[in-house]
Amino acid sequence: MNIYNGTASCRAIAIVSGKGGSGKTMVAATMATIFDSLGHKVLLVDADYGTAGLTYYMGLNTVANISVGLTNLSSQEELNAESINRYSQKMGGFKNSEFIGVGDHRRYLKSSSETDIEVLFKRLVEISKEKYDFILIDCRGGIDTESLMVCKAVDEVVIVAETDTTSFQATQYLVDTLYDNDLSDKLSGFMINKVFDDPSSIARAGTASFKSQYLDSIPFDLDATKSFLVGDLPARTSMFSSQIWHVIYKLYPETIKQPDLRSLAFSDYRGLSLKDSDSLLGGMMISFVSLALGTILMYDQLSFVDFGRNTIAYSIMSIVILSVLSGIEPARRSIGRVFSIYKRFITRIFTGSRR
């Protein structure tokens, strides 16, 4: 049996959200990545029978066979450690962790009753605790029978919320449902995902409404999103992974190593943007040049300075071209990249850097 907080134990955690599209699946996979990188044994389970999102995600680059999983375990006459080991798969890039996907979820839904589901997850968690340090179960977005059965079987429930009103209301319904089923004592906290502005008001409102601790906010990270779309796991050095690490550290400070980077403060999110830095710089340079050309036209019209017809004509033509370029993302990015290179070159000259 594994060691947790100095005692023989393992923590089983359900990752839930009020609605689909919250990024919960990527959060669960990243949590498993961080736990594994810190030397902990993890069992990652996909319990979303509706979409099997985590199964398909991991099947792209991380696990070899997504056709087996919970459906096979549910058909066993007696669920034991041997059968769980048989359908647990090694994950590429992981040292000590394994994955159980949904398998053929259509066959499962046709043949399984509510009692079967409850027994399956209860036994799965009970037996797996003998082998792993952490069991992470990714539930379906929203709250359904399977998700409730998972929440009953695990030790803790962690909520992934978003910043929009719809997500907040859906999360409130999720929390109310957990309370109605006497599962409120398992709520460990909530995180706010896909954040690109100051989340302080949502964090305060969530703490009061969800009656649970605020864990941290996860920034909208373009690099992490791109990784998800191609089936890769977010880099451990990304902002996304760093904030997930802070969530884990807040949950288990005596077990988890303190993150390398500091947690983002609420004020840090005010400077985040959905666009990359080159695009932002390109947009700023276009605006600056347009402003300069506009100033020339204004001074000419006010008769402060006579720039001549050719200058005015070229200025008007340039403003038209810049207006078109400002609406084209690749153009902004290219302009920004040129100025970034120029900026680094100038910086090296004045700082004496050789790199």
pTM reported for the whole predicted model: 0.75
State how far the Cα of 276 lies from the Cα of 133, in Å rounded to an integer.
38
Look at residues 64, 120, 110, 53 and name the one whose alpha carbon lies nearest to residue 91. 64
Question: Which of 3.40.50.150, 3.40.50.300, 3.55.50.30, 3.40.50.740 would CATH assign to domain 3-271?
Answer: 3.40.50.300
Residues in the chain: 355
338 vs 121 pLDDT, higher one: 121
Would you state the pLDDT for residue 161? 97
Residues 148/49, Cβ–Cβ less than 8 Å:
no
Would you state the pLDDT for residue 350? 66
Would you state the pLDDT for residue 62? 95
Would you state the pLDDT for residue 338? 84
Look at residues 219, 216, 149, 168 and name the one whose alpha carbon lies nearest to residue 189. 216
State how far the Cα of 305 lies from the Cα of 204, in Å rounded to an integer.
56
Joined together, the tokens standing for residue 94 give: 């992981």
Counting residues of the chain whose pLDDT is more than 70, the rounded percentage is 89
Least confident of 70-74, 106-110, 182-186, 206-210: 106-110
The SS3 assignment for 138 reads: strand
How confident is the model over 258-276, as a mean pLDDT?
A: 78
Average predicted confidence (pLDDT) for the chain: 87
Would you state the pLDDT for residue 325? 76
Joined together, the tokens standing for residue 146 give: 């399977």
Would you state the pLDDT for residue 1? 39
Indicate whether 60 pLDDT > 70: yes
Joined together, the tokens standing for residue 82 give: 């041997």
307 vs 127 pLDDT, higher one: 127
| Residue ranges with strand state E in 173-277 | 187-195, 214-219
172 vs 109 pLDDT, higher one: 172
Would you state the pLDDT for residue 8? 45
> What tens digit of pLDDT does each residue of 79-98 get?
999 999 999 999 999 999 99
The residue to which tokens 């046709």 are assigned: 110
List the chain domain ranges.
3-271, 277-351
Least confident of 184-188, 241-245, 332-336: 332-336
State how far the Cα of 58 lies from the Cα of 52, in Å rounded to an integer.
10
Most confident of 92-106, 160-174, 266-280: 160-174
Cβ contacts of 66 within 8 Å, gap of 6 or more? 52, 55, 56, 58, 59, 101, 103
Residue 272: pLDDT band with limits 50, 70, 90: low
Would you state the pLDDT for residue 133? 97
State how far the Cα of 18 lies from the Cα of 332, in Å rounded to an integer.
37
Least confident of 35-49, 107-121, 216-230, 309-323: 107-121
Indicate whether 111 pLDDT > 60: no
How confident is the model over 163-180, as a mean pLDDT?
A: 96
How confident is the model over 164-180, as a mean pLDDT?
A: 96
> What tens digit of pLDDT does each residue of 34-46 get?
999 999 999 999 9
